[in-house]
Structure 1
């Protein structure tokens, strides 16, 4: 561990020298005023959430020796100077995202505007920063990146801030689009042995909190410093650097359009209509899932890589929520896994605080967290289960009942042997005949011209 600390501090000094040579350092108080210029004043704050505020978390001396880890506080405009000195400056643990929230809770469901899109780039030294310099601010293209507004030294790496000219209103579908955009650009920013010394990419949500400028990195005692590297940006500018067009954000698509009228939905989905339209219950419905899924996830710990240990724990909590596992039980399981995960090599040590942080996801809003999201966060491939977590015997019994019902409606029986007779127009015959007539065609051409899959072509070649 000693060598690791030496490496981290050497990287920090080299990155600081390089950034300070090219750019101006910005103090923390000014940094957050720049990102959040529209925070309310103390007297304005009320139940009117037309003006959302930034929310930050900080460690308080009064909580030492207790189970409470961090306190939550609203960033108000007229008290910020004093609050910054009291709660953020030189604090060993503070967190703030680039979003503004309605109310006093910094959950994604309460987020109202995105003021800044932020990316985390871990394990950065002089060489990685020089590579980043070569890629930012150029015309869009392969591995090229938009010019950031700020580059922040986190202690072990960089936080890259894109501050928008106008905050983006976070309508439901805009949140989903921004998540896809962030995943796309994260893949582009994070490259092993080029922009990072870490092998594993770390994907994060759009409301991820980051160490605050002016605070200290509690693991290494290093100051979090910010450098002004560019101007405010527009969404169109960021969109231009997204590789896949479907991952760009269309600000006009605020909601996913429904293919049904309200009358059609009432007839087709009476349960949904009663719950959402009549009872005004907007919470997503929770499916009843057996605990087999949770137990399966516990067995996947051997697949975890260094940069994904925390996210494995977080997804353990999410699976516990899905499967109705009590919070105390999942907490005990997390401690059981802690020693195993701690032995996985990484520049940042896994700490007990990571368990407490991951437990914060024990919340209803994570009921419908998708498989794709879990795969992105943990870098663990999840095979899709076609049996809906049923035993194979039960699944096959159900499938046969559906098959027999369909045959009955057609006036046939499964045993009638009404299929195509072998050797008469079967796919095998089609492939063999085609190949004999077109011996130079590739499997892809054969499949396309016959209207069958390449798998079937390979089967009979």
Structure 2
């Protein structure tokens, strides 16, 4: 889809994604692999099975593997990765997939995990903690503080298909395209949830539990929700509107300053591996702050040249297509759609930036702040002291 041209006269194109349904017989995979190579186009596949025709989290049925994406892996990093597996520092992987410039570390699960609400959040936490464990200064040449952490529904380049080393769609740099290759370790048994939990220090208290019970307990720790029966009693108007009448949840608009702050932060603190997520974060904030789509696109495409200049490798360009893909998080704006559900913590973790970095607020991180009750107690004491000194009372 044509989106005009950039400052250099290059055409801005929104890439159109096609989705295919692969059945249990997997016959379609052979055809898709051939299409990918012949057309030099990328193809992604998630380790998730679905029911229905739509690939979304609501239709997700089972998770079959946990896959971790490692960037900037050279010979030394690969040796270190295998060494850490041998020494028991990180769990043994069943497969290592070379995706071009990165490596996918695949942990095949002994039993597919049903993607019910009670397990999904626990799986997300487990994958994030595993990523922090596997991606370290020894296994990747990038800054460990700038690592990427994807969700469990994330798709990865399909084995046997073209990689980005071959250039953009329809413009291959090589006559024999590089293909994604997979290497298996047949002696490694499929991973169990308790086995993976045993490598995460703060989650080891759950390694003796059944896998699904551990995930359920972890989900309850993270998601502090109110049972629907209790919500009906506490907020009857909300219950009538959103449960009985099924009205969509509304949202509120943040001040414009929040969007400007994020724009400033990502401009100054973006890193190579997180350029997409920085634009994604900007689109989410535009949605929450009521910024018009035209203005968002002007700001996002205005960052294109700056973001692209961060890398010098010809196979690691940041293009207008990447910007267009990230801008899909805007979803119409005005605090609507899924964008309003993306939290600040989620966006900052993905983009590897902090909201307060630009203005110096990062010098007082949450872990160093007073607890809320003590902070309020301090504020009330200062208030009362000032009233006593002035000989006044205002309450």
- Could you state the TM-score of these two structures normalised by the residue count of structure 1? 0.63
For 1:326 and 1:85, the matched residues in 2 are separated by 40
CA contact (8 A) 2:261 2:355 kept: no
- Equivalent in 348, 355, 377 of residue 350 of structure 2: 377
2:208 is the counterpart of 1:208: no
CA offsets, 1:268-302, max 9 Å, x none?
A: 32343123332235x55423223322222111111
Structure 1 position 132, deviation (Å)? 0.6
Aligned to 1:171: 116
Q: Secondary structure at the match of 2:90?
A: coil
- Provide structure 1 residue ranges, at least 5 long, that are not aligned to the other structure: 1-64, 386-401, 407-411, 420-461
Aligned to 1:84: 32
CA offsets, 1:402-440, max 9 Å, x none?
A: 99xx9xxxxx99846699xxxxxxxxxxxxxxxxxxxxx
CA contact (8 A) 2:68 2:106 kept: yes
Aligned to 1:294: 259
- Provide structure 2 residue ranges, at least 5 long, that are not aligned to the other structure: 1-11, 167-176, 332-336, 360-375
CA contact (8 A) 1:88 1:215 kept: yes
CA RMSD of aligned residues (A): 3.4
Aligned to 2:16: 69
CA contact (8 A) 1:153 1:226 kept: yes
For 1:343 and 1:330, the matched residues in 2 are separated by 21
Structure 1 position 73, deviation (Å)? 0.8
For 1:319 and 1:110, the matched residues in 2 are separated by 27
Aligned to 1:239: 197
- Equivalent in 40, 43, 46 of residue 94 of structure 1: 43
Cα–Cα, structure 1 residues 205 and 328, in superposed 2: closer, same or farther, change >3 Å? farther
- Equivalent in 276, 297, 300 of residue 334 of structure 1: 300
Structure 1 position 245, deviation (Å)? 1.7
CA contact (8 A) 1:138 1:146 kept: no
- Structure showing greater relative contact order (alpha-carbon pairs closer than 8 Å, 6 or more residues apart): 2
For 2:256 and 2:205, the matched residues in 1 are separated by 34
- Equivalent in 45, 55, 70 of residue 121 of structure 1: 70
For 1:190 and 1:247, the matched residues in 2 are separated by 23
For 1:75 and 1:296, the matched residues in 2 are separated by 43
Paired residues in the alignment total: 327
Deviates more, 1:80-89 or 1:116-125: 80-89
2:338 is the counterpart of 1:365: yes
CA contact (8 A) 1:177 1:247 kept: no
